[in-house]
Amino acid sequence: MITVFFDGACEPVNPGGIAAYGVIIQIDGKEIFRESKIVAEGPMASNNVAEYNGLIAALRYLFKHKYKDEKIQCFGDSKLVIEQMNGNWNINKGLYVEHAYKCRDALKYFPNITLSWVPRLQNIADDVSKDCLRRRGVKFHIQPD
């Protein structure tokens, strides 16, 4: 079983701060991939942009390493991402829209994937999404560090 946790953060303001994602991928509970990366700064940065880029990064890794046909469970704490990618909510307007469509297109390659919402405290990628922001010296105001 492949398990994916993804998260995003935008600090010190949202939108308009520095947006970064965190991803952890496990196979049978053993970590095989961890990444934290800044994806946007300034007017095009938002938490939702970061969240979507985290899921996209996970999907790219899985596709590149030929895991697309495996049973995959993805967990994120963004209701927006989970509900939109499960087809329950429309993709409307916002900085995230192009990333949402890119993500939706990528999901077509994964026939055995499920996406589920988890509370932030159960999302092990939450802290990872903030790692590169910490290294950059960003002061946390939205979700205190």
Q: Which two tokens stand for residue 142?
A: 């939205």
Question: What is the domain-level CATH number for residue 48?
Answer: 3.30.420.10
Reply yes or no: is the peptide bond before residue 43 cis, omega within 30 of 0: no
* Assigned domain for 143 exists: no
CB 128 within 8 A of CB 54: no
Three-class secondary structure of residue 67 per DSSP:
coil
* Assigned domain for 125 exists: yes
Q: Domain of 10?
A: 2-135
Q: What is the DSSP letter of 2?
A: E
Question: What is the per-residue pLDDT for 141?
Answer: 86
* Assigned domain for 145 exists: no
What pLDDT digit, counting tens, does each position of 65-114 carry? 999 999 999 999 999 999 999 999 999 999 999 999 999 999 999 999 99
Mean pLDDT of 8-37: 97
Asked if the model's pLDDT at residue 18 lies above 90, the reply is: yes
Handedness of CA 121, 33, 28, 3 (dihedral sign): positive
Asked if the model's pLDDT at residue 45 lies above 80, the reply is: yes
**Strand 18-27, strand 2-11: pairing:** antiparallel
* Assigned domain for 113 exists: yes
Type and span of the H or E element at 60: helix 47-64
* Assigned domain for 140 exists: no
Please count the structural domains in the chain.
1
* Assigned domain for 14 exists: yes
Question: What is the per-residue pLDDT for 145?
Answer: 58
Asked if the model's pLDDT at residue 144 lies above 80, the reply is: no
* Assigned domain for 97 exists: yes
What pLDDT digit, counting tens, does each position of 48-69 carry? 999 999 999 999 999 999 999 9
Question: What is the per-residue pLDDT for 33?
Answer: 98
